[in-house]
Chain A
Amino acid sequence: MTTKPPKVRTTQPHHTGVYKADSIKDVAETLNINISDAIATALASDVEYRIHQVVEEAAKFMRHGRRTTMITSDIEQALRVLNIEPLYGHTPHNPPTFRRAGPVYGHLSSNTASSGTANAGAVYFVEDEEIDFDRVLREEKIVMPKGVSWTAHWLAVEGVQPLIPENPPPVPRDVDTNTMETPKPNGVIAAPSAPPLAMINGTGIANNTKKPQQQSQQTQQHLVKQVLSRELQLYYTRLTSSLLPPSSDFAKRTAALASLRSDAGLQALLPYLIRWVGEGVVGALKEGGQTEADGKVLEVLMEVIGAILDNNTLFVEPYLHQLLPPLLSTLLHSSLPRSHSTQLRTISSQTLSGLLTKHSTTYPSLSPRIMKTLLLALISPGKSKGTREGAIRGLIGVGKEAVRKGLVDSGGAKVVGSEVQSHEMGDWVEDQALIKAVLDALRVLHPPSDSEMSDSLNMANEADFQVSMRLRNLLGEFFAQKVGRDAAWAKAILGENINDEPIAGQIS
């Protein structure tokens, strides 16, 4: 019996004989029969016709099987209905791998078809692997195939396809309708083009189309093609170059920031800008962040973030999680350049505050998350003074409640106070900055009254003494002293107690 790979070539109506006379001769030779060329040619034509008959029949079974690939069981069914003994040993569970040997043929023209027998066609044969039982028994794990299961999802709701992971990503409107037909006939899909990178030449951020990670994992391939226009690329290069120190032109920088703050149509640039800021901050801080130049860079970058947030035409929300790391890094980094440290922390905390007021309504989990980071930096032992100061400034940025929670309720002031007291040999400047930060923060709770008018806590007064003790408990010795100079302030820091405290005193 002839063995022929169940290869279907339904798409090519024109052919010049798949089955060669030589194959007939080969088969005949194996049976010790010698046949002439003419007979072999005739037989080959006939064999081919029969094969086509089988394949046409098998195609019906494939069609009714709702498949676009013919499998061996189709051939088997076809042979069965044609009353031919099926070919044994070809189960669909274990599709045979055919190897091809011999010369590779392109399209044969009919001239060569009739010409000599020397150029025999390619030979297909079934690969017969040797199986080492020992190895199989030892190593091969038999995996149970997963059972058939179903899932249901909405393919369309009132004619609109919902954007859920079960549905393919939508085809953008402006793209030509040709792309609608990505699945080619017979279920062949066009090779999914790799997410095209928007190339920005010469700026070193060519591979920055890294989408939000969860998104890239969720949707297997993002087919949306986004290419930055030449103008935007130019704008980007100009903007970044005029912002950073090499061009220390102040006017230029102000103009750039102003443009970023108010110009529309920069949405496409946003991911790149944010990435640029992030990398800039990381770069500046990594080098130790000691030089003045680094400080300047950081300052500019903070201003850029502020400008991005200020721009009403930008849709920043999806990128917030990318914006926060540079911001918080600047805020909490232990060693900022001395000359800029306070200023940098103040700017970043202000930016943070602006960000929170703008986006915490739509993104409710934002401020708790930031709070957590800041508290950790404030309270956990072993942090540098710079970090502590940054955390406090950050708390100021988050708001009054945050300050109360951080400094008073969680004992942040106590920690700081003890640290300032114990490390006397520490850096005086840093200490002062830290103390100032704490006092600034405490002032947020209650603007202290004019220094002249202020009356300090009177220790003799029972109530005042109580307040003082409580202050000490809450803020620690160091800051209790500082605050104690202003009775109203101290009471305000104790918060809600300010009203019931006297009553309690009277009762006791």
Chain B
Amino acid sequence: MSGNTPPTASGSPTATSPPQAQATAPTGADVDLLILQYLRAKGHNIAEKAFLNEIEGSSSDARNARPEIINPEELVRTLAVFAQKPSRPGDNTLKDSSNVLSELSTMGNPPALQTLISNISSVGSEDILTEDPSDKPEGFRELVAWVEGSLDMYRPEFRPILFPIFCHFYLDLIQAGRKDAAIQFFATFSPQLEAAHSTTLLHLSTLLLPAHVQNDELAQRFRDEKYFIRISRSGFGLLLGWLTEGIGGEEMGAGYGFYGEKGKRGRVSVMQVVNNHLRFDVTSSNSASLLPHTWEESTGLTSSLIPHANGSHSKIYNPQAFNLSKGDLKLGPAPIPEELRTETERVAREKAMLEGVPSTQYDISLAPPQTLPGMVAPTENDMLPLPPNFKATDVEREVNSIRDARKRIRLEPSTLHGLEPNSPQASAIRAGALPSICAYTLHNVPEGAPCCTFSQDNSLMAVGFSESYIRLWNLKGEKLRGMRSDFSATSIRDSASLRKIKEKKGNSTRKLIGHSGPVYSVDFDPLNGSAAPPKYLLSASADGTSRLWSMDTMTNIVAFRGHENPVWDVKWSPLGTYFATASRDRTARLWSTDRTACLRIYAGHLGDVDCVRFHPNSLYLATGSSDWTARLWDVQRGSCIRVFIGHQGPVSTLAISPDGRYLASAGEDLAINLWDIGSGKRVKKMTGHTASIYSLAFSAESSLLLSGGADWTVRCWDVKGAGGAPNKRDATISSNDSPTSHKFGEEGTIEPTLDMISTFPTKRTPIINVQFTPRNLCIVGGIYQSPETR
């Protein structure tokens, strides 16, 4: 690498301490040019920019930011500042200089630089060329002191500033090749940021070489994108005041004179980051009116998470603005074709006569899809193309859904409000408000089963295993019989001859073999509803395929290839025929069962797409991703129409309420967020789980949310309830307190929010699937972990 090491580099750089004059001597335009050249070659973008800023001294924000600098010849002044360094305790100089030179020696220096180096004495040159690493910890320390010393009112909105500045400082240090300084910086300051940003911090901590920073995606996002922070006008003013003058927030007893020059240098480096990488959304709203977790929604590298608005290339930083720009959605229930509806009514009436019950019990108006006020129902033209004629099974399904709606267990958690826990009628009310949960526990699963699902008629359970196979169980104990393969196709004429070739023997469980990697998701087709067992099963696997299995023949019919990467999730559309997959390749795709190629690709996520869910009217598709966002896509157009930003970790699972109004998402930040799909706003954040959440399900009335996860519990949440931290009395107090508690201290203990109605622990079973039957009974599935394994 270092073929032509310059002779000056080999000489001891610290031999002589240079007089001040030497440092300032070569202040010509050519030197400026050389320095710029060097910075560019080394990839010091920021330093380069800062340098340019300083040289020009005319850019508006620089003047705004540093009004105290009057001298137009910036460089001279800068050098004068730097030249004071030898008077300080020279703890770092020795190491620094050697670092710089070794660094220089590793690259082929242009001869111009060599001459420059030989021209100016070593310590002075190093001061010019590299920034002193100590100003970053110093600056950050002061920033922390200032934020913590600020008024209670402002503290919550100042805190989010710390994190991006920390990240940039760390990356700057790494980029400058100062690994030790960077590690020390990280060790000093990361603990106080850990609670809220542990994942990002962990990732950053792995970056140790300049090459990593250049190649790492997250680091590049930090470099290239603006970090978005919302702040109130008065808060912004205070921040500017501190950046320029160092006003406020000093530690007690630390007068200006004490920190003088050093403090200023620290602030300068903070300001460089603020100028180059931060973007403030100055709101006129009072800082006190901010709710505790709102910063999650509007803070971060949001610009790339939010797609470009149609045509325009201007970046949108605010997810709300994007969601608004996308207009209203049609969230109402899907229309039932008129013929199907009349036929269903007819059959239902017949059935009522046969069973001798009043025909009102089969009233079609009882069927679930009802448009809620304020929601627009789609017309038939909006729907995905479906087979034009309905079949007998469709009628059966509709009739059954009416019956289910009638026999449904009503779950009304709202009755629990204001209920005395010990009052005599409490138990009766609780019984009416809370679900019955049937748990299916798998035993003797050595390597784990990533997924599990139940058919809507509760007759089948499918479990996908890490060992690449799927196992079906008939929960009623009936035999699962496939078809023989030794028959001539000509002999099959009618259903009777078809029945003849059914296998004679069978078992109530059956293995489906076909995948060549862990099976991550299985889903039964919804076409038969609760009227009959499903006909098909879809599965998605790490081998990059999703497969369609027939429940008649018990074989694999189609393998859908397209994703080159593991497919994490697969879901049928609510009306069958179509399905969607989510993959590690950062796309979700739409497929139809009759084609092997995908119909639509939903691209835009910056990380793996971890889960997909269809909206009940199948017009929209929700995806959750490792880029910490959930998105809503227009299924037909393939465009992103809503972005849900607020999770502080990958989104692990989603659920859309049956009434089509809410989206619930669970993330690795152990929180469940409830979103209003129409407006794209977060309704509330629900916390209480102590480990990853694997599955979410809404009750049929959309009033109750169930979640199951790795902490071996199933938890019930009140969708309509207010939520919030249990100990809060006043909104204003909480707005100041909660972020404190969220970011500092008490990691590990998670206070359940008020809307958590109950927790049902299992013995040692992580719950991998939670779902409601059409009659509102809850079934959960999990794998018992015997204590001795691992």
A residues with a Cβ closer than 8 A to B are 10, 13-17, 38, 42, 45-46, 48-49, 52-53, 56, 60-61, 63-69, 71, 73, 77, 81, 92-93, 95, 109-110, 113-114, 145-161, 166-168, 178, 180-187, 189
Q: Residue B598 at the A interface, CB < 8 A?
A: no
Tell me whether B590 is interfacial, beta carbon within 8 Å: no
Contact A183 B761 (CB under 8 A): yes
B447 within 8 A of A: yes
Give the Cβ gap from B319 to chain A, nearest Cβ, in Å. 25
Contact in complex: A145, B446 (CB < 8 Å): yes
At the interface, yes or no: B345 with Cβ under 8 Å from chain A? no
What B residues does A49 contact at CB under 8 A?
A: 206-209, 212
Contact B450 A13 (CB under 8 A): no
Interface string of B748-788 (1 = CB under 8 A from A): 11100000011111111010100000000010100101000
Extra contacts besides A53-B206, A147-B444, A155-B439 (5): CB < 8 Å: A48-B206, A66-B768, A156-B434, A180-B761, A185-B670
Q: Which of A56, A68, A189 contacts B203 (CB 8 A)?
A: A56
A63 CA / B748 CA spacing, docked (Å):
19
Known A-B contacts A49-B212, A61-B542, A68-B710; A185 and B748 likewise in contact (beta carbons under 8 Å): yes
**Does residue B608 face the partner (Cβ distance < 8 Å to A)?**
yes
Contact A155 B437 (CB under 8 A): yes
A183 to B785, CA, bound (A): 13
* Of B190, B202, B440, B768, the contact of A152 (CB 8 Å cutoff): B440
Q: B residues within 8 A CB of A38?
A: 102
Instruction: Give the secondary structure class of B's interface.
Output: mixed
Minimum Cβ distance to chain B for residue A177 (Å): 8
A-B pairs with beta carbons under 8 Å apart, 11 shown: A13-B194, A61-B566, A68-B691, A68-B710, A114-B180, A150-B441, A150-B461, A161-B761, A168-B763, A181-B750, A185-B690
User: Is B471 a contact of A148 with CB atoms below 8 Å?
Assistant: yes
- Let me know if B179 and A45 touch, CB within 8 A: yes
Sort A-B residue pairs by CB-CB distance and give the 4 closest, nearest first. A159-B434, A52-B206, A158-B431, A45-B208
Judge if B584 is at the interface, Cβ distance under 8 Å.
Answer: yes
B783: chain A residues within 8 A (beta carbon): 66
Cβ–Cβ contact A64 & B431, under 8 A: no
Are the C-beta atoms of A14 and B190 separated by less than 8 Å? yes
On whether the beta carbons of A150 and B437 are closer than 8 Å, the reply is: no
Does any Cβ of A come within 8 Å of B183's Cβ? yes
Residues 210-223 of chain B: 1 if any A CB is under 8 Å from the residue's CB, otherwise 0?
01100000000000
Question: Is chain A's interface secondary structure helix, strand, loop, or mixed overall?
Answer: mixed
Asked if B691 and A186 make an inter-chain contact with CB atoms under 8 angstroms apart, the answer reads: yes
A13 pairs with B201, CB closer than 8 A: yes
Asked whether, in the complex, the Cβ of B206 is within 8 Å of the Cβ of A157, the reply is: no
CB–CB B439/A152 < 8 A: yes
Residue from the list B448, B517, B608, B652 in contact with A67, Cβ < 8 A: B448
Closest to A65 in B: B450
A294 CA to B212 CA, complexed, in Å:
87
Among A113, A150, A158, A187, point to the contact of B711 (Cβ < 8 A).
Answer: A187
Against A, the Cβ 8 Å flags (1 = close, 0 = not) of B276-310 are 00000000000000000000000000000000000
CB of B8 within 8 A of chain A? no
Contacts of B565 in A (CB 8 A): 81
The complex places the Cα of A178 from the Cα of B749 at a distance, in Å, of: 9
Q: Which residues of A contact B432 (CB under 8 A)?
A: 158
B733 at the interface (CB under 8 A from A): no
Residue of A nearest to B757 (CB): A159
**Which residues in A have their C-beta under 8 angstroms from that of B437?**
154-156
Q: What separation, in Å, do the CA atoms of A503 and B268 have in the docked complex?
A: 125
- Asked if A66 and B450 sit within 8 Å, CB to CB, the answer is yes
8 Å CB interface, B671-724 against A: 690-692, 694, 710-714, 716
Complex: A49 Cα to B780 Cα, angstroms: 40
Query: Per-position contact with A for B436-463: 1 when CB-CB < 8 Å, else 0?
Result: 1111111111111111000000000101
The CA-CA distance from A109 to B748 in the complex, in Å, is 25
B440 close to A150 (CB less than 8 A) = yes
Q: How far is the CA of A263 from the CA of B584 in the complex (A)?
A: 70
Is the beta-carbon distance between B187 and A77 smaller than 8 angstroms?
no
B206 to A187, Cβ gap below 8 A?
no
Contacts of B463 in A (CB 8 A): 148
CB distance from A223 to the nearest CB of B (A): 11
User: Which one of B203, B626, B762 contacts A155 once the chains associate, using CB atoms below 8 Å?
Assistant: B762
Q: When the two chains form their complex, are residues A69 and B690 in contact, meaning their CB atoms are under 8 A apart?
A: no
Whether the Cβ atoms of B692 and A68 lie closer than 8 Å is yes
Cα distance A186–B442 when bound, in Å? 19
Q: Name B521's closest neighbour in chain A (CB-CB).
A: A64
Question: In the bound complex, do residue A187 and residue B518 qualify as a contact, i.e. CB atoms below 8 Å apart?
Answer: no
Q: How far is the CA of A37 from the CA of B323 in the complex (A)?
A: 54
Q: Is the CB of A68 within 8 A of B766?
A: yes
Total residues of chain B contacting the partner, CB 8 A: 94
| Known pairs A66-B451, A114-B180, A156-B437; A81 contacts B652 (CB<8 A) | no
Q: Are B447 and A161 in contact (CB under 8 A)?
A: no
Residues in B neighbouring A67, C-beta threshold 8 A: 448
A214 CB to nearest chain B CB (Å): 19
Chain B, residue nearest A161 (CB): B760
| Residue B242 CB within 8 A of the other chain | no
- Specify which chain A residues have a CB less than 8 angstroms from the CB of B438 in the assembled complex: 152-155
Contact of B713 with A183 in the complex, beta carbons under 8 Å:
yes
Q: Which residues of A contact B465 (CB under 8 A)?
A: 148
Residues of B within 8 A of A157 (CB): 436
State how many angstroms separate the Cβ of A326 from the closest Cβ of chain B: 37
Evaluate contact between A14 and B431: CB separation under 8 angstroms: no
Closest to A52 in B: B206
Min Cβ gap B729→A in Å is 19
Contacts of B749 in A (CB 8 A): 178, 181
Residues of A within 8 A of B211 (CB): 46
Q: How far does the Cβ of B750 sit from chain A's closest Cβ, in whole Å?
A: 8
- Residues A46 and B209 in contact, CB atoms below 8 Å apart: yes
> Looking at the complex, which one of A10, A145, A158, A182 makes contact with B202 (CB distance below 8 Å)?
A10
Q: How far is the CA of A49 from the CA of B206 in the complex (A)?
A: 5
Instruction: List residues of B (579-632) whose CB comes within 8 Å of A's CBs.
Output: 584, 608, 610, 626
A152 and B441 within 8 A (CB):
yes
Which residues on the B side are within 8 Å of A14 (C-beta)? 186-187, 190-191, 205
Interface residues in B49-72 by Cβ distance below 8 A to A read none
Q: When chains A and B are docked, how far (Å) is the Cα of A321 from the Cα of B198?
A: 57
Residues of B within 8 A of A109 (CB): 187
Q: Are A155 and B710 in contact (CB under 8 A)?
A: no
Known A49-B207, A49-B209, A64-B520; contact A187-B766, beta-carbon cutoff 8 A: yes
Is B397 interfacial (CB 8 A cutoff)? no
The residue of chain A having its C-beta at the shortest distance from the C-beta of B207 within the complex is A49
Complex Cα gap A309–B7 (Å): 103
Contact of A148 among B445, B610, B652 (CB under 8 A): B445
Asked if A13 and B190 make an inter-chain contact with CB atoms under 8 angstroms apart, the answer reads yes
B712 touches A183 (CB 8 A): yes
Within the complex, what minimum Cβ distance (angstroms) separates B102 from chain A? 7
Residues of A within 8 A of B644 (CB): none
Interface string of B526-568 (1 = CB under 8 A from A): 0000000000000000100000000000000000000001101
- With CB as the reference atom, state the residue of chain B lying closest to A92: B447
**What residues of B have a CB within 8 angstroms of the CB of A60 in the complex?**
584, 608, 626
Contact A110 B180 (CB under 8 A): yes
Chain A positions within 8 Å of B164 at CB level: none
Please judge, given known A-B contacts A49-B209, A73-B466, A110-B180, whether A155 and B780 are in contact too, CB under 8 Å: yes
Residue on A nearest B421 in the bound complex, by CB: A173
Instruction: Kindly provide the distance from the CB of B709 to the nearest chain A CB, expressed in whole angstroms.
Output: 9
Nearest-CB residue, chain A, relative to B670: A185
- Is B473's CB within 8 Å of the partner chain A? yes
Across the interface, which residues of A come within 8 angstroms of B205, CB to CB? Answer: 13-15
Which residues of the partner chain B approach A68 to less than 8 Å between Cβ atoms? 691-692, 710, 766
Measured in the bound complex, the distance between the Cα atoms of B441 and A95 in whole Å is 25
| CB of B645 within 8 Å of the partner chain | no
Q: Is the CB of A66 within 8 A of B694?
A: yes
Contacts A92-B447, A154-B437, A183-B711 hold; do A81 and B566 have CB atoms under 8 A apart? yes
B790 in the interface, Cβ–Cβ < 8 Å? yes
Chain B residues, Cβ within 8 Å of A113: 180, 183
Contacts of B670 in A (CB 8 A): 185
